[in-house]
């Protein structure tokens, strides 16, 4: 391990806005099986980590935390938590939050598989999935799979929204298929977020794949899309194009279109996997990604 990472890990220990629980705090393997344990922060984020009680928004797989940071500065009336397992990445967001004294930002270092250990029922108002790994070979590892939706339902407030922003058409189509298979309410959907000629569809999600569909008149300028997606606030709609992660900029530079989907998970009974999702086809159109250090 390089000295740079060691320095970041050591500094992470000093950041009050960064929670780094040990595995033993949230996992019980004493009987040879596996059981998720509740962490003491569960149900206490607003009182223990933030300056004041406000609706909580999660970014799962936040990487360097730039999206979490930017959203928190745009909407100070909400508290934001970035979640990732990579300590060296979280260091950047946590350090920025500390140095700029941001009162509504926190970070959690953990595996998202354990996320229900940290949040109580109705404690979270919305979730962002920003450029998650599409997990082409393992459906249950996708952060929008029925397995994870069941986890989110345990702590997401009624009507709470999930936002998916991704360069992967595969993940977008899979997530939309999951939403449709479970009768979830899709609030917004587009396969080309930055193209003003491609509408953000709401009541008819299939329209977003048809380039001949007439535009919504309210999409005439950049991020001015508030009226295009009923139920989404002005700040959220503006952030869709105004806020970009490191990976988003990198993938856009390589020519990949950015997909966006927003839906709620109010649903009775178990979540089911989509039966009509053509994984082979959507997997076949995924192109190669390259890591670009300087963008």
Q: Which token pair is 100? A: 């700029």
Is 133 an active-site residue? yes
Bridging pattern class, strands 186-190 and 259-264? antiparallel
Residues with Cβ within 8 Å of 191's Cβ and at least 6 positions away in sequence, in order, are: 169, 172, 198, 208, 209, 257, 259
CB-CB contact of 63 with 70 (8 Å): no
Dist. CA 41–CA 250, nearest whole Å: 35
240 touches 223 (CB < 8 A):
yes
CA distance linking residue 97 with residue 52, whole number of Å: 16
Alpha helices in the chain (DSSP H): 3-12, 23-26, 45-48, 66-74, 87-99, 146-153, 169-181, 234-242, 246-253, 279-284
Rounded to the nearest 10 degrees, what angle do helices 87-99 and 3-12 cross at? 50
The H-assigned helical ranges of 75-168 are 87-99, 146-153
**Could you count the other beta carbons within 10 Å of the beta carbon of residue 215?**
13
Task: Tokens 């869709």: give the residue.
Answer: 240
User: Active site residue: 133, 220, 233, 278, which one?
Assistant: 133
Catalytic residues: 133
């Amino acid at each position: 391990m390089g000295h740079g990472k060691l320095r970041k890990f050591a500094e992470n220990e000093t950041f009050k806005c960064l929670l780094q629980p040990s595995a033993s705090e949230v996992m019980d393997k004493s009987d040879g099986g596996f059981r998720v344990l509740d962490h003491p922060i569960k149900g206490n984020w607003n009182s223990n980590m933030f300056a004041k009680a406000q609706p909580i928004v999660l970014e799962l797989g936040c990487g360097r935390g730039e999206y979490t940071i930017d959203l928190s500065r745009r909407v100070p009336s909400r508290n934001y938590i970035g979640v990732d397992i990579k300590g060296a990445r979280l260091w950047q967001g946590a350090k920025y939050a500390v140095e700029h004294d941001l009162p509504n930002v926190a970070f959690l270092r953990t595996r998202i598989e354990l996320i229900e250990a940290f949040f109580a029922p109705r404690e979270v108002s919305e979730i962002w999935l920003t450029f998650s790994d599409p997990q082409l070979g393992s459906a249950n590892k996708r952060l929008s799979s029925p397995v994870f939706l069941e986890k989110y339902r345990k702590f997401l407030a009624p009507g709470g929204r999930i936002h998916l922003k991704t360069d992967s058409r595969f993940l977008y189509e899979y997530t939309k298929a999951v939403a449709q298979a479970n009768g979830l309410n899709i609030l917004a959907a587009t396969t080309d977020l930055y193209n003003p000629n491609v509408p953000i569809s709401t009541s008819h999600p299939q329209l977003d794949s048809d380039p001949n569909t007439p535009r919504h008149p309210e999409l005439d300028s950049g991020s001015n899309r508030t009226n295009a997606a009923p139920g989404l606030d002005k700040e959220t709609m503006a952030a869709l194009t105004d806020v970009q992660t490191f990976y988003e900029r990198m993938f856009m530079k390589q020519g990949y279109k950015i997909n966006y989907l927003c839906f709620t998970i109010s649903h009775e009974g178990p979540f089911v996997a989509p039966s009509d999702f053509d994984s082979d086809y959507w997997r076949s159109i995924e192109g190669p990604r390259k890591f670009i250090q300087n963008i």
